[in-house]
Structure 1
């Protein structure tokens, strides 16, 4: 944080005008993200920064943006006329190269931003989307974090073995039951681990293509991994480590396995891996015996672990507004302060939904016996859905044993590589549990959020907790790091010297605006009143 800005203030730079394929936009608003704080804290340890020399090439952060077109290259004027409001998906690829706005591409913590071809003609198509004037700048800026929540309920991993890939088949020593590889093995490179006799006696459907056989687990990374039998914990952890990015692991145990094994949670979160299995010892059963669930179990029990922060609030709001909500939601957090505020904020929304969802809040550090209390709230059947909303291993390890046999675990929040936590892979293989994970979102996810905003199913303005001008950005980031506010901090660059204000503190700055927000909440109308009030104060 000490090196954010120049003497803790924004730097003035020449304004570059757009060339072919480019759009110059005014930053109407940006919201602050915990990822911004993570990037600042990690510096060169953040993967996309690599060996960047920040003294010579400082990074401009900011990826949750509300924008308005100022000028364009001649070839862009028809599609993006001056004055058009729009949002943008910050994580894009062009010709396979990653351009991440606010990380390795100049971000929006500024008055203006110049966007290039990677946004408008990316490998995924146009990653900018126009909107009308009805939606607030705060809401538009939040389409990215809300889209990340939506993306957590979309399948990201493949469910078929990779044509022409590399395949590892691991057979446990001393197996007594047979296994059927009753599907085509489409890999080009196949490595078998076990003994020749065990493979001949206990495995039908041996690969027809040439494959090497080894007695011990080899090094290297594999696109697909088949586990036959029951490895010990250490071996299973090592096998999971062999999964490639976008890899698939299928486990056919011989007998009911131990539920949890240690795994590098960051690799599961970031690598879009598929985890599947079946107790029937047939490969086809793992791929076809059931449909995978990617949303809450209607009438089930949802646990939002580490849910006291902004993303937990977004998850709770989504669950309560779902057409098929859980019957009970349990929100956990470290301390009562943020949970109490969350309970206070959500009480009116809970009444408005007209649904009978039972919401409970449980503080980990202030509960006499947290494990016993949450187990009683979840009940003997276990939690049908668990979403890990905070980084680190503790939010996972504290609740993973509550997952129902056929429940869904969503690893929503990322953590550092090399942190090993308990993964309920045994339940995936034996009883039909699902483990999903996602990182980031797409422009289509954001468009889906906008449609939910229009219909009232998504309420981004509900998340706004504090506002400020461009000069308040550093204080806002420090507030995010400290967990000072119960929701989002939104910065309006045009209101340069507007101090950082909690919505509950607006009365000290503008009483009429404070009264309006108290009655109606944050909105497009509140923003218009804010700008009008700021202009009066300036004059």
Structure 2
């Protein structure tokens, strides 16, 4: 069948084009991709091209479909999988395939999110990385992948009991600091902190931009957190005389944090995170640096005498992904806080190539429409050409400026997408 999608050929070379998908094999599944969230990891891949560890060396001759944060509907099922999957079911997928480097959006010529249709090969299905769900939207499954990484981060942290027994997860009733936390992933981390069973007593979220801090408080307010039993404080560290002492004073006992997440790969921020750890504190370098020589000064005295720990986490498991989708369906977390822009398939190339320079959070694309990548706050600017966008903006306003299942349904209906 003839499909449209964005494919990678080389460094800085991605193209929106039409190409042919073959008939599926007996062990494959054809899907209709409805939404794909554009990830910074894709931008990094585009900058590296064939040098990227997941990209095939022959990508110039056999281009791969980009995009790994996608969801949609199952269209056709090969004989092998017909007892488990049915046409018409919504699908979600985990792009981190256990035991292999190959991944949707990085490695496959026929499987990726930036295309109207794609084919899931047997190895992905065999690994349990494709499943169905009954959620009321597509976008929540698209951003379940970044949310799953957030969940993995929380579960990766650990504390010590009786000297050498590791207790996995963040500390119940403790203090969490989310540094550089007003971006899409950081806000996902705040949302998750309010939903987990081992809730912290306090969550401190930092940034150096008052506008970003104000928006964060709009979408996840201190009042909302209080209702869920957590004291949430947003702080501009650029306005603190001494960020180390100032942040420590905000922790539960004033002596430092049990869990610190560093959400920007910036050396001074990482060093700040290390300095505000309390006894048995754990710091997670969540933000992935692009510089392979990225390093920072850390206090090894505290590591020895105060049992502080430093680790990093990336990706997530299938269970983490399913938890993200299930919690979103139960409205326990708000993945919509990650999304600030919405666009169509025609916006993917420019958005991906310029991603670091576009302010805001996650950029969500819908594969079966043409629409410029537009900030949710700017949707009314499109109404001069199409009055529908006033209606769409009204829907977002009713949802506190956030994207929603209602907004998605209205958009797809307007463009005649079934």
Q: TM-score, normalised by structure 1?
A: 0.67
Pairing partner for 2:130 from 117, 128, 131: 128
Pairing partner for 2:107 from 104, 108, 114: 104
Q: 1:424 to 1:466 in 2, by over 3 A?
A: same
Distance 2:167 2:353 in 1: 38
Distance 1:17 1:82 in 2: 16
In the alignment, what sits opposite 1:513? 392
Pairing partner for 1:389 from 258, 263, 271: 263
Contact 2:170 2:259 in 1 (8 A): yes
Pairing partner for 1:445 from 310, 320, 327: 320
Distance 1:515 1:47 in 2: 44
* CA deviations over 1:431-452 (Å, ceiling 9, x no partner): 3334443221121111122222
Contact 1:362 1:374 in 2 (8 A): no
Distance 1:361 1:533 in 2: 41
For the residue of structure 2 that corresponds to 1:407, the secondary structure is: strand
Shift of 1:368: 5.7
Q: 1:440 to 1:327 in 2, by over 3 A?
A: same
Shift of 1:351: 5.8
In the alignment, what sits opposite 1:297? 171
Distance 1:380 1:349 in 2: 22
RMSD: 2.9
Shift of 1:359: 1.1
Q: What does 1:6-17 align with in structure 2 at a 5 Å threshold?
A: 6=15, 10-17=16-23
Q: Matched residue pairs, number?
A: 396
List runs of 5+ in structure 2 lacking aligned partners.
Answer: 1-9, 384-388
* CA deviations over 1:286-322 (Å, ceiling 9, x no partner): 9963543433333432211222211111111111333
Q: 1:356 to 1:22 in 2, by over 3 A?
A: closer
Pairing partner for 2:24 from 6, 14, 18: 18
Distance 2:308 2:101 in 1: 33
Distance 1:103 1:394 in 2: 32
List runs of 5+ in structure 1 lacking aligned partners.
Answer: 157-274, 277-285
Contact 2:199 2:230 in 1 (8 A): no
Contact 2:161 2:167 in 1 (8 A): no
Shift of 1:86: 0.8
Q: 1:368 to 1:39 in 2, by over 3 A?
A: farther
For the residue of structure 1 that corresponds to 2:17, the secondary structure is: coil
Pairing partner for 2:90 from 72, 78, 85: 85
The worse-fitting range, judged by mean Cα deviation, of 400-409 and 515-524 is: 515-524
Q: 1:467 to 1:479 in 2, by over 3 A?
A: farther
Shift of 1:514: 1.5
Distance 1:367 1:478 in 2: 36
Pairing partner for 1:42 from 48, 55, 59: 48
For the residue of structure 2 that corresponds to 1:12, the secondary structure is: strand
In the alignment, what sits opposite 1:142? 143
Pairing partner for 1:5 from 7, 11, 14: 14
For the residue of structure 2 that corresponds to 1:292, the secondary structure is: strand
Q: What does 1:59-458 align with in structure 2 at a 5 Å threshold?
A: 59-93=64-98, 96-105=99-108, 106-122=111-127, 126-132=128-134, 134-155=135-156, 289-347=163-221, 350=224, 353-364=227-238, 370-371=243-244, 373-378=246-251, 380-415=254-289, 416-458=291-333
Contact 2:92 2:130 in 1 (8 A): yes
In the alignment, what sits opposite 1:489? 363
Distance 1:454 1:424 in 2: 42
Q: TM-score, normalised by structure 2?
A: 0.85
For the residue of structure 2 that corresponds to 1:418, the secondary structure is: coil
Distance 1:33 1:492 in 2: 14
Contact 1:4 1:474 in 2 (8 A): no
Shift of 1:334: 4.3
Contact 2:193 2:200 in 1 (8 A): yes
Distance 1:436 1:522 in 2: 33
Contact 1:382 1:402 in 2 (8 A): yes
Contact 1:406 1:427 in 2 (8 A): no
For the residue of structure 2 that corresponds to 1:154, the secondary structure is: helix
Distance 1:44 1:331 in 2: 38
Distance 2:365 2:305 in 1: 49
In the alignment, what sits opposite 2:414? 533
Pairing partner for 1:468 from 335, 343, 361: 343
In the alignment, what sits opposite 1:206? none
Contact 1:293 1:408 in 2 (8 A): no
Asked which structure has the greater CA Rg, the reply is 1
* CA deviations over 1:327-349 (Å, ceiling 9, x no partner): 33222234333223222322276
Shift of 1:423: 4.3
Pairing partner for 2:60 from 52, 55, 58: 55
Q: 1:359 to 1:430 in 2, by over 3 A?
A: same
For the residue of structure 2 that corresponds to 1:484, the secondary structure is: coil
* CA deviations over 1:261-285 (Å, ceiling 9, x no partner): xxxxxxxxxxxxxx99xxxxxxxxx
